[in-house]
Amino acid sequence: MKQSRKDIAFSSIKERVLTLDLAPGSALDEIALSAQYDLSRTPMREVFQRLAGEGYVALENNRGASVSSMDLATMRSFFQTAPMVYASVARLATELATRPQIIGLKKIQTRFSKAVKNNAVSEMAMHNHRFHEHMGVMSASPYLAPSLGRLLIDHTRMAQRFYRVNHDAASSRIDLASEQHDAMIEAISSRLPAVTVDLTLAHWELSRSEMDKYVLPNPLPFDQFEDSHSVLAEIKT
The 3-class secondary structure across 74-133, one letter per residue, is HHHHHHHHHHHHHHHHHHHHHHHCCHHHHHHHHHHHHHHHHHHHCCCHHHHHHHHHHHHH
Residue type, 135: M
Question: For the whole model, what pTM was predicted?
Answer: 0.85
**Class in CATH terms, 72-236:** mainly alpha
pLDDT digits (tens, 9 = 90+) for 106-147: 999 999 999 999 999 999 999 999 999 999 999 999 999 999
Q: When comparing pLDDT for 221 and 8, which is higher? A: 8
The angle formed by the CA atoms of residues 28, 163 and 89, to the nearest 5 degrees, is 80
pLDDT digits (tens, 9 = 90+) for 15-41: 999 999 999 999 999 999 999 999 999
Question: Average pLDDT, stretch 60-70?
Answer: 89
The pLDDT value recorded for residue 234 is 54
Question: Average pLDDT, stretch 81-92?
Answer: 97
Domain spans, the chain: 5-67, 72-236
Residue 188 pLDDT class (50, 70, 90 cuts): very high
The pLDDT value recorded for residue 220 is 42
Question: Average pLDDT, stretch 212-218?
Answer: 54
Rounded distance, CA 54 to CA 1, Å? Answer: 23
Residue 235 pLDDT class (50, 70, 90 cuts): very low
List phi, psi (to 5°) of 140.
55, 40
Question: Average pLDDT, stretch 5-24?
Answer: 96
Q: Does domain 5-67 have CATH number 3.40.640.10?
A: no
